[in-house]
Amino acid sequence: MGSADMRSFLAFLGRSLAAVLLSFAVSALIMLVSGYNPALAFASMIRGSFGSANSFANTLSKSVPLIFAGLACAYANKGGIFNIGCEGQLYMGAFVSTVTALSLRGMPRLFVIIASILTGMAAGAAVGSFNGFLKAKMKLNEVVVAIMLNYICRFFTSFFVSGILKDPDSETPQTLPVGEHYMFSKLIPKTQLTTALFLALIAALAMFFFFRETRAGYNVRAVGENGAAAEASGINVARTMILTMAVSGGLAGLTGVTEVFGKSERFIDGFSPGYGFTGIAIAFLAGNHPLGILLSALLFGIIQAGSMKMSYEAGVSTSMISVIQGLVILFVATPELVSIRIGRRRTA
Amino acid sequence: MYAVEMKDIIKRFGSFTANNGITLLVKKGEIHCLLGENGAGKSTLMNILFGLYRQDSGEIRINGKSVENHSPLAASRMGLGMVHQHFMLVDALSVWENVVVGLEPGGFRIDRKESIRKVQELSDRYHFELNAEEQVGNLSVGMKQRVEILKTVYRGAEIIIMDEPTAVLSPPEVEQFLMILRDMRADGKTIIFITHKLKETLAVADRITVLRAGKSVSTIEAGNASARELAGMMVGHEVDLEIERPFNEAGGAVLSVEGLRLLPNAASTVSFDIREGEIFGIAGVEGNGQKQLEEMIMGLIKCREGRISVLGKDVTKLGTRKRRQLGIGYIPSDRLNRALLSSFSLEDNYLLGKQFSDNYVRHGIVRHKAVKEAAGTLMREYDVRAAGMDQAAGSLSGGNQQKLVVGREASDEPKLIIACQPVRGLDIGAIHYIHEILLKLRKEGKAILLISAELTDIQQLSDRIAVLYKGEILAARKNEDFTEEEIGLLIAGHREAV
Ligand SMILES: Nc1ncnc2c1ncn2[C@@H]1O[C@H](COP(=O)(O)OP(=O)(O)OP(=O)(O)O)[C@@H](O)[C@H]1O
Ligand SMILES: [Mg+2]
């Protein structure tokens, strides 16, 4: 990284940090006004997420899907496409990988896991590239299409797990378990922290490398920056867009895969608490920087993991975390709120 | 009484000082020219005046009133208007929408009819020949420029800043434009006019301020100035701008264009060959098929009729990348849109168009070292002035952006160079330099298609000249067989001049 590069990255980090701190301050104010003790609330949030090895493992495991979702959104953003379809893509990823594992039952463990990961990613990629295709070739707005595809994917999977793929012994719509044997290995016993964490770290590093060092990464960035110039340089813009959405969809698919094979052991209808949408916020907070995403996903993981403890120790509702997350985004999105004040003071 | 007073303006970008204590005094009702080499700090100074940048120190008064920390909106309210070097238009909207945006007639609803009428009236008054309902995206660069000017006029600006407005105009358009400036002055408007063309300066300016390397050298009455003197003040020493085009033996055909239909309603198709070591100049006013020609050759738009071959290979159906790999360097007429990634570093911009070459990418991995080296060499050779390799291309001065693009496309031994408006926005020194480069490339045996609205470019450089009018070539001959007058008539569409 060049020095100017480094400087702008640090400046960015500073801005993000300022936004985070500001959002904590405002949430504290809200808690105060509503009659809670913010100091106690934040302390219990920290205890809840860092208090013990297990709670920290829990925090990390909550960050894993957020990393994948954040990377998925960031990848598309770099290519100039807003992928709001991660949610649908991750449902398809989770669903197809579960079906793969269920139908390969009895086969060797590694083979099944790898096959499930690949088919899950492929499913997400298929949905993503379809979206990309409609944008690149048919000039349809990717956001509108993605929102519709989200519904289609969500209800497509719902249809199957409520019907022919439903676990007959269960009340709720969900598939049979893929079997303990086929799950990712746990890093700490009795927690949900699995080797999926490594997969997430590898994905982030790979993406960092990809955009920095490879021609393909350069081409994606170039298309994202200026399609007309990219085209004149010889890049096939439509194909690049479609591939961008394929990769983004594949990463979103991984979000679903790792939830099944790391946590739930099966496909559960409606399992995602909106990872795909949180991913947008995470990518945004990280300025689409793959390594920044690790940090911002961790932050969101901490907030989410600590929310339970915050709720029963300080009595603050867990919905407070949505407020905090929302505020973070608000402050990142409107740097003017923070910096203009500072700028004014400096020149005055 | 001064309309604008800027005193001891200092503006730094990081460690780089773009304006280093500039003083500019503009009298009310005058046309004041701002001269200076590429990167001298003209646009920066004007951006400060207009409230887009904030100076680090120095004082500004508009109509005698001191202003501080003003926004562009506040500047507009004080009667300032700015026509930027790079257009700030919304392509998807129509001319009238672009003009009235923010100041629409009518109350809650926009009075569409009234808007169109007003805009059309203004356009007609200044002979802009715009159709108020046309979509801006469909307009040529020259026409877009007029929309920009219309915008400030519509807003009732009294002091109008024009940053290189003539860079994109053809000679007859420039004449008209200068008339407009004079009309505006007669109307009592104050104009700050940035241009690299001394002829224009001497034709309209009342007073001239020359900047050099971020400092104001001096302000003089235009009546006492000569082109030679001004050029000397800009660069700081005597300049020699003579250029000679020695005889050069042309080789085999590199580019062959056969029966190409540039415009759907063109009376005939276009055919020509360009041979090794030859510069083939296309003269004519922009908007007569130049853009179609460059984009068809590069494979950016489909050619429905006709054939293009490069080095004997039919490329009509090939994509842009394959064509470039045959050895085509491409300097687009619209450099900001087609040739640069504004927020990317200079290094990344150097790679644009070269990312499919083994010299810079091996096995899919970018060879940063090679790119950096080559980019560094280019910046030295072409005197691209930048704070460093990390600077964003969009923040280079206009002329330096152009030098970057020309240098990039001329490097790595292309066989054919499609040079469209290659000297647009360059200072006289840089133009001279680009001319020399093109002649050097010609001497090295490269085939060059030169599309330029600048007749001097075409005449000084071309071995053969074709005049493009409404999508057809009215005449194509050896340079020596045309008189300047003939070309001028042909450009205007007077076929009988042939
Ligand atoms: N935002 C910026 N960040 C860093 N450097 C900048 C920025 N804007 C301008 N500069 C630098 O300041 C110098 C002056 O630029 P400016 O655009 O004012 O030149 P100019 O006189 O308008 O030149 P030209 O005739 O080429 O348009 C240039 O060297 C440019 O690289
Ligand atoms: Mg400029």
Residue A9 in this model has a pLDDT that exceeds 80: no
More reliable by pLDDT, B437 or A253:
A253
- The residue type at B254: V
Sequence-ordered list of residues with C-beta below 8 angstroms from that of B260, at least 6 positions apart, any chain: B269, B270, B271, B293, B296, B303, B305, B306, B307, B308
Q: How confident is the model at residue A99 (pLDDT cuts 50, 70, 90)?
A: very high
What are the CA-CA distances from residue B108 to residues B103, B115, B132, B156 (Å)? 12, 14, 22, 22
Query: What pLDDT is attached to residue A10?
Result: 78
3-state secondary structure of B59: strand
Cβ B386 under 6 angstroms from ligand 1: yes
Mean pLDDT value of segment A41-51: 91
- Fold exhibited by the domain A47-341: ABC transporter involved in vitamin B12 uptake, BtuC (1.10.3470)
Which pair of tokens denotes residue B167? Answer: 């860079």
Mean pLDDT value of segment A25-46: 91
Query: What pLDDT is attached to residue A341?
Result: 43
For residue A214, what is the nearest residue in chain B, using CA coordinates? Answer: B365
d(CA B251, CA B274): 9
Query: What pLDDT is attached to residue B54?
Result: 93
Q: Which residues of B have a CB under 8 Å from any CB of A?
A: 14, 54, 69, 298, 300, 319-325, 330, 332, 337-345, 348, 351-353, 355-356, 361, 364-366, 368, 387-391
Enumerate the residues of chain A whose CB falls inside 8 A of the CB of residue B391: 4
Mean pLDDT value of segment A211-239: 97
3-state secondary structure of B238: coil
Instruction: Walk across the sheet containing B80-83 and list its strands.
Output: B80-83, B159-163, B190-194, B31-36, B207-212, B215-221
Query: What pLDDT is attached to residue A335?
Result: 67
Inter-chain CB pairs, A–B, below 8 Å: 88
Cβ B356 under 6 angstroms from ligand 1: no
Ligand 1: residue of B13, B17, B209, B428 to mutate (most ligand atoms within 8 A of CB) is B13
Query: What pLDDT is attached to residue A198?
Result: 97
Query: What pLDDT is attached to residue B104?
Result: 67
Residue A206 in this model has a pLDDT that exceeds 60: yes
CB–CB of B298 and A232 under 8 A?
yes
Length of chain A: 348
- Fold exhibited by the domain B242-327+414-498: Rossmann fold (3.40.50)
Sequence-ordered list of residues with C-beta below 8 angstroms from that of B315, at least 6 positions apart, any chain: B299, B308, B309, B322, B323, B326
Q: Which ligand is nearest to the CA of B18?
A: 1
Burial classification of residue B409, based on how many CB atoms lie within 10 Å of its CB (0-12 exposed, 13-18 middle, 19 or more buried): buried
Question: Among residues B95, B196, B111, B188, which one has the least CA distance to residue B149?
Answer: B95
Domain boundaries, chain B: 2-235, 242-327+414-498, 339-412
Q: Which residues in chain B land under pLDDT 70?
A: 85, 104-108, 239-241, 497-498
Query: What pLDDT is attached to residue A307?
Result: 87
A24 near B CB under 8 A: no
Burial classification of residue A2, based on how many CB atoms lie within 10 Å of its CB (0-12 exposed, 13-18 middle, 19 or more buried): middle
Enumerate the residues of chain B whose CB falls inside 8 A of the CB of residue A234: 319-325, 353, 355-356
**The two domains B2-235 and B242-327+414-498 share their CATH topology (first three levels equal):** yes
Residue A1 in this model has a pLDDT that exceeds 70: no
Whole-structure pTM value: 0.86
Angle of helix A237-259 versus helix A109-138 axis, rounded to 10: 140
- Which segments of B61-111 does DSSP mark as H helices, in order? 72-77, 95-100
ipTM of predicted assembly, 2 dp: 0.89
Query: What pLDDT is attached to residue A175?
Result: 95
Average pLDDT, chain A: 91
A216 near B CB under 8 A: yes
Q: How confident is the model at residue A5 (pLDDT cuts 50, 70, 90)?
A: low
DSSP 8-state symbol, B187: T
Enumerate the residues of chain A whose CB falls inside 8 A of the CB of residue B355: 215, 218-219, 233-235
Give me the residue from B298, B300, B364 closest to A215, CB to CB: B364
Q: How confident is the model at residue A346 (pLDDT cuts 50, 70, 90)?
A: very low
Mean pLDDT value of segment A319-325: 84
Query: What pLDDT is attached to residue A347?
Result: 35
Which pair of tokens denotes residue B376? Answer: 């560094």
How does pLDDT run across B170-199, given as a tens digit for each residue? Answer: 777 788 789 888 888 888 889 999 999 888
How does pLDDT run across B5-57, given as a tens digit for each residue? Answer: 999 999 999 888 999 999 999 999 999 999 999 889 999 999 999 999 999 99
d(CA B287, CA B146): 14
Cα four-point dihedral sign B441, B442, B443, B444: positive
Q: How far is the CA of B105 from the centre of ligand 1 (A)?
A: 37
Burial classification of residue A188, based on how many CB atoms lie within 10 Å of its CB (0-12 exposed, 13-18 middle, 19 or more buried): middle
| Mutation for B interface: A3, A7, A77, A215, most B CBs within 10 A | A215
Give me the residue from A3, A222, A228 closest to B390, CB to CB: A3
Cβ B157 under 6 angstroms from ligand 1: no
Q: Under CATH, which number does the domain B2-235 receive?
A: 3.40.50.300
Q: How confident is the model at residue A100 (pLDDT cuts 50, 70, 90)?
A: very high
